Amino acid sequence: MAPRGRVQLRRFQDRLSRQVRFFKRRTGLFKKAFELSLLCDAEVVLLVFSPAGKLYEYSSSASIEHTYDGYQQFARARRNVNEASQNRNNNQDDASSDLKSRFREITTWSLQNNAKASDADELGKLEDLLRNALRDTKSKK
């Protein structure tokens, strides 16, 4: 038996070989997704479409929709923060507008995220937003 080594990443030309590899790799990928969710208490969703277009899915939570809704909230909050940041950069001369914008960011974040269910990264972002708003308030006086 030959020793295992690095696998050269290239597309298999033989259709049957490609199907077998897909099945084995897909199984390994789903196993890793399960292990990640179990060992690290992570919420994992995995969607795989086969070359034939068949959907294979895995979700560590009750439903993929629940995780997707959480992703949408996170993406929406990030977009709001980015837009507010761009607006803030465009209106540097108007200090009161800048401060209102920062407090709007904080309010938007707190409405979209439950502090008890938030992870350390999300709470760190909120802390940074608050610290920056307070620092700017003190420097404007």
Phi then psi for 49, rounded to 5 degrees?
A: -105, 130
Helix (H, G, I), strand (E, B) or coil at 49: strand
The count of domains in the chain is: 2
User: Do residues 97 and 54 both lie within one domain?
Assistant: no
Check: CB of residue 38 under 8 Å from CB of residue 28: no
Q: Which residue has the tokens 């795989």?
A: 48
Alpha carbons 58 and 33: distance in angstroms, whole number: 8
* DSSP conformational letter for 114: -
pLDDT of res. 48 = 92
17-74 pLDDT tens trace: 888 889 999 999 999 999 999 999 888 999 999 888 899 999 988 788 888 888 888 8
CA quadruple 17, 23, 28, 29: dihedral, nearest 10: 110
* Residue at 6 is within a domain: no
Residues 69 and 134 both lie in one domain: yes
Max distance between CA atoms of the chain, in angstroms, equals 76
pTM of the model: 0.49
pLDDT score for 28: 95
Same domain, 44 and 82: no
